[in-house]
């Protein structure tokens, strides 16, 4: 058992379940975007592991870009203020954009991003999230592609962090309260 695993109450989602979920999301996107060339936009830092696995299962001509957005600082909940630290490198006018997020939590960041990107006149903007935590939603937003509806627990792993730690776990686990108090 690694030092990080000892900080977990339990493993919520195994590597196998995560990969199965990623495959199902990719199958849907492949079918719905057949003949199109979507732009996948990873929202860093949390989405990088999910984005890498997802994009390898996409069987379409597509592009990849990233945005660095902050609304959490180093804490457990969103500050509510969204800051763009790195914007897109590509022009999205007339493009089909798929925002790739690790978790849809409060919805504040994605709501802000959609409004922010709409002024650039993309053909469409859709959201693909590995995890959806509706119990934490504070704004009306729904992902177009959702992997797993998750409970209102403090989770880490597979890109998700607490104070920049635990992203490298290959599964998703529930963090013990003493690890973040």
Q: What residues act catalytically?
A: 105
Name every residue whose Cβ is closer than 8 Å to that of residue 144 and which is 6 or more positions away in sequence.
126, 127, 128
CA distance 72 to 81: 8
Determine whether 50 is exposed, middle or buried from the number of CB atoms within 10 Å of its CB (0-12, 13-18, 19+).
buried
CA dihedral 44, 177, 17, 140 (to 10 degrees): -60
How many alpha carbons lie under 13 Å from residue 102 in its C-beta half-sphere? 20
Determine whether 114 is exposed, middle or buried from the number of CB atoms within 10 Å of its CB (0-12, 13-18, 19+).
middle
């Amino acid at each position: 058992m690694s030092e990080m695993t000892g900080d977990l109450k339990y493993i919520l989602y195994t590597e196998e379940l995560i990969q199965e979920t990623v495959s199902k999301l990719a199958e849907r996107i492949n079918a719905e975007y057949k003949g199109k060339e979507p732009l996948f936009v990873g929202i860093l830092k949390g989405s990088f592991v999910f984005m890498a696995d997802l994009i390898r299962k996409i069987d379409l001509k597509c592009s990849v870009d990233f945005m660095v957005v902050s609304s959490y600082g180093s804490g457990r909940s969103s500050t509510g203020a969204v800051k763009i630290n790195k914007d897109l490198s590509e022009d999205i006018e007339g493009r089909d954009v798929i925002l790739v997020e690790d978790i849809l939590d409060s919805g504040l960041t994605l709501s802000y991003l959609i409004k922010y990107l709409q002024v650039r006149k993309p053909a469409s903007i859709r959201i693909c999230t590995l995890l959806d935590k509706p119990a934490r939603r504070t704004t009306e937003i729904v992902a177009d592609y959702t992997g797993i509806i998750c409970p209102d627990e403090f989770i880490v792993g597979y890109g998700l962090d607490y104070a920049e730690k635990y992203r490298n776990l290959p599964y998703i686990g529930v963090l013990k309260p003493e690890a973040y108090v």
